[in-house]
Amino acid sequence: MTDLARARAAEAAQAPAIDAVGLVKQYGGRGGVVDAVRGVDLRVEAGEVFGFLGPNGAGKSTTVRMLTTLLSITSGSASVAGVDVSANPDAARRKMGVALQEAGLDPRQTGRELLILQGRLFNFSMSQAKDRAQELLELVELTDAADRRIKGYSGGMKRRLDLASALVHEPEVLFLDEPTTGLDPASRLTVWDEVRRINERGTTVFLTTQYLEEADQLCGRLAIIDGGLIVREGTPIELKRELRERLGLASDPTLDDVFLDATGRTRIAGDVREVSA
């Protein structure tokens, strides 16, 4: 374990990495008020890989956008790395990294240039930015492609570079929004390895995904949201055990079964995705 990992593990006893209480988001429209999120409570401890699952329209993206300061909070409170995201959004942003589903990469730059620019935006000196860029290129195994233009990168390489970009300022919490959507199985496995490596270095990871095998492989704990409310929470093993005992199943269910039971969905395309890699 690195010194950074030890320091952040020690902080776990003091404050959670993410703490949301009674989180609500309402939208007004012609039909009246719409409750997108209806009172979400979340606690993610420092050092965890936490999965956040939900069908389309369940409130998953809205919750993440509130936690990452991209949306205002109607009521309730949320803090990331001990900083209130509503009261002090600028300070909160400096504690978090965010890699959204669509990577915001300039295809005209090289991977190295992108990371150096990110470092400079965070007030690194040129020397510091170059050193940090090299360190991150090694972390995500892109040193061989560092000086190639991003437009020539594969989808998997772009996702790994986007991860590196979100880590430039050494955030305490990394939000990943469906990081492997659209990737082939080999690239998906590579991104999984990067997420594990990032977490082992002391960064808390908050992962949203529709790939249930991905959540099962990566997440120590997870929550399932539906209708704007958390409907199930626990470790993958706990959730599967609870379902087996409650339904009296003869064999262990999958996380897919847990998801369907929690949300009342069926195996229809768009409700849930399974992936083998």
What's the pLDDT tens digit per position in 226-276?
999 999 999 999 999 999 999 999 999 999 999 999 998 765 544 455 444
The CATH code of domain 3-263 reads 3.40.50.300
pLDDT reported for residue 30:
80
- Vertex 275 angle, CA 194 and 141, to 5°: 20
Which pLDDT score is estimated for 104? 74
| C-alpha–C-alpha distance, residues 99 and 50, integer Å | 15
Q: pLDDT value at position 140?
A: 87
Amino acid 149: pLDDT: 96
pLDDT < 50: residue spans in the chain: 12, 269-271, 274-277
Which pLDDT score is estimated for 275? 44
Q: Please report the pLDDT score of residue 255 as a whole number.
A: 94
182: nearest Cα among 204, 209, 206, 203: 209
Predicted pLDDT of residue 210:
83
Q: What is the pLDDT of residue 3?
A: 65
